């Protein structure tokens, strides 16, 4: 089963990082977010990827073209010109890197890789979020309900403290906003049928707007509730949070060995 990863956005909310690289190439623990996401899928046996490129897509191409060199020891025979890779650390992934247009919206990117997924169920996610989602359970849930699309529903971590303010402006209590007060949101990690392509008009279509709305109205969208770890990287604060977890030695999304 193929995994489509949307990796072409501008990442304007974290411009400190994305002025020179696309957001999926922001590094956590010395490896791109995209690598972390692919490791999650690979752990569950999904190792064929279609990466939808846009903004600075050449950076992602360079990374995978040079992957073996970057993650191996290299011995160079300068006289004879031979290059030997030693202690190769390359996962068994097949990766298609597809230019889908710098200004194309998320739905349009999916539509542009239709020829690579048409006729078969495929997985779909964003290139900026990690989680410890049980992907096999997600797939089983999708197959059991028989609808066109399943979205992983998550509860984002509360970011703001709640103030209970009394008379005269006195703060009577300060508490962190519980995660369960925020509600369920789209966490990516979709499983979809090729029929969703009929809901996408073209490059200007945002998958999160018209297509998902129409799928919901038609009764073709189901939610897989994930109560474990999930984090998207939208800000420098988000990146630092993941770095702290990674440096702690047991990041919750590291489901692979």
pLDDT digits (tens, 9 = 90+) for 123-163: 999 999 999 999 999 999 999 999 999 999 998 876 556 66
| Structural domain includes residue 52 | yes
**Residue 89: predicted pLDDT:** 84
| Structural domain includes residue 253 | no
Quick count: other Cβ atoms within 10 Å of Cβ 25?
22
| Structural domain includes residue 255 | no
Count of domains for the chain = 1
> Which residue range forms the structural domain that includes residue 30?
2-247
In 100-160 the beta strands, taken as DSSP E runs, fall at: 122-126, 129-131, 149-154
Per-residue pLDDT reduced to its tens digit, 112-126: 999 999 889 999 999
Tell me what percent of the residues of the chain surpass a pLDDT of 90: 81
Average pLDDT over residues 99-106: 97
| Structural domain includes residue 254 | no
- Beta strands 2-7 and 48-53: pairing type? parallel
Rounded Cα distance between 254 and 257, Å, is: 8
Q: What CATH number corresponds to the domain at position 87?
A: 3.90.550.10
**Residue 167: predicted pLDDT:** 72
| Structural domain includes residue 122 | yes
Q: Has residue 71 got a pLDDT over 70?
A: yes
Average pLDDT over residues 55-69: 96
- Read off the pTM: 0.90
Q: How confident is the model at residue 17 (pLDDT cuts 50, 70, 90)?
A: confident
**Residue 23: predicted pLDDT:** 96
CA atoms within 13 A on the CB side of 176: 6
- The secondary structure element, H or E, covering residue 170 is none
Q: Has residue 178 got a pLDDT over 80?
A: no
């Amino acid at each position: 089963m193929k995994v489509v990863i949307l990796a072409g956005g501008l990442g304007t909310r974290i411009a400190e990082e994305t002025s020179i690289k696309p957001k999926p190439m922001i590094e956590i623990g010395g490896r791109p977010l995209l690598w972390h996401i692919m490791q999650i899928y690979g752990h569950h046996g999904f190792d064929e990827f279609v990466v939808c490129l846009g903004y600075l897509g050449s950076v992602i191409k360079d990374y995978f073209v040079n992957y073996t060199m970057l993650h191996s020891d290299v011995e160079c025979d300068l006289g004879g010109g031979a290059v030997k890779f030693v202690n190769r650390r390359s996962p068994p992934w097949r990766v298609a890197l597809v230019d889908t247009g710098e200004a194309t919206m998320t739905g349009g990117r999916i539509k542009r890789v239709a020829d690579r997924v048409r006729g078969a169920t495929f997985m779909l996610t964003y290139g900026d979020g990690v989680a410890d989602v049980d992907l096999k359970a997600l797939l089983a849930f999708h197959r059991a309900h028989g609808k066109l699309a399943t979205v992983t529903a998550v509860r984002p971590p509360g970011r703001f403290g709640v103030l209970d303010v009394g008379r005269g402006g006195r703060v009577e209590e300060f508490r962190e906003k519980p995660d369960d007060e925020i509600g369920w949101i789209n966490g990516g990690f979709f499983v979809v049928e090729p029929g969703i392509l009929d809901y996408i008009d073209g490059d200007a279509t945002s998958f999160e707007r018209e297509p998902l709305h129409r799928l919901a109205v038609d009764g073709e969208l189901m939610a897989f509730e994930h109560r474990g770890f999930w984090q998207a990287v939208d800000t420098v604060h988000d990146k630092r949070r993941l770095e702290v977890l990674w440096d702690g030695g047991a990041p919750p999304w590291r489901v692979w060995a």
